[in-house]
């Protein structure tokens, strides 16, 4: 995907790299770390994020081969501007011990089936519900934010063994979750392309 990078973004990345050396990260990990930091202006994400380069490589290939992208809320979808996403929150209802967010994940899974990339930046209960499904995801970007359930749901994601991008702290949110997906979306698929 060729994209025109605005001079403000170029300068922002220059300043980020002047304050933090990211050159030791493998290519896709570096792309995710830098884009997340850029989205939040928070250098601590460099040590807070948890991911595996080989999982990112497989997810990158799946994304560029057209795998569906599912998001937990419209705010995450709004941050992913160069790809259609599935968000079923408007159709979801709370009940039977399920939050609306958890029900939306069930509805989305019924729609897309296995192999999707899941981007959760808002609701820990959405991430918890995804972990109960046999979703066989290409990747789970699990970056819900908050003081109730966020840390625990992200720890459960890491313990699940699913291919994932998560973080250790309470931090997260729609902007950083969409930034992590965009890092994979914008990263070149061939050496000739520029990010």
User: Are the CB atoms for 71 and 88 separated by under 8 Å?
Assistant: no
Instruction: Give catalytic residues, as residue numbers.
Output: 38
> What are the residue ranges of helices labelled H in the chain?
7-19, 27-40, 45-48, 53-64, 74-79, 100-112, 124-132, 150-160, 174-186
User: Are the CB atoms for 72 and 101 separated by under 8 Å?
Assistant: yes
- Roughly how many angstroms between the first and final C-alpha of the chain, as a whole number? 8
Helix (H, G, I), strand (E, B) or coil at 71: strand
User: Are the CB atoms for 43 and 20 separated by under 8 Å?
Assistant: yes
Radius of gyration of the chain (CA): 16
């Amino acid at each position: 995907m060729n994209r025109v990078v605005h001079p403000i973004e170029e300068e922002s990345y220059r300043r980020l790299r002047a304050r933090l050396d990211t050159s030791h990260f493998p290519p896709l990990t570096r792309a995710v770390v830098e884009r997340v930091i850029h989205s939040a202006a928070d250098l601590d994400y460099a040590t807070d994020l948890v991911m595996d380069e080989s999982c990112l490589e497989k997810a990158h290939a799946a994304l560029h081969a057209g795998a569906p992208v599912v998001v937990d809320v419209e705010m995450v979808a709004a941050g992913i501007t160069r790809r259609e996403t599935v968000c079923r929150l408007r159709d979801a209802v709370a009940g039977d011990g399920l939050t609306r967010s958890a029900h939306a994940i069930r509805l989305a899974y019924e729609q897309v089936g296995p192999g999707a990339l899941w981007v959760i930046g808002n609701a820990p209960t959405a991430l918890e519900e995804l972990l109960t499904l046999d979703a066989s995801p290409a990747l789970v970007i699990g970056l819900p934010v908050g003081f109730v359930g966020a840390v625990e749901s992200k720890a459960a994601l890491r313990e699940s063994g699913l291919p994932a991008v998560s973080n250790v702290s309470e931090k997260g949110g729609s902007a950083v979750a969409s930034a992590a997906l965009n890092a994979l979306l914008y990263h070149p698929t061939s050496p000739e392309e520029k990010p």
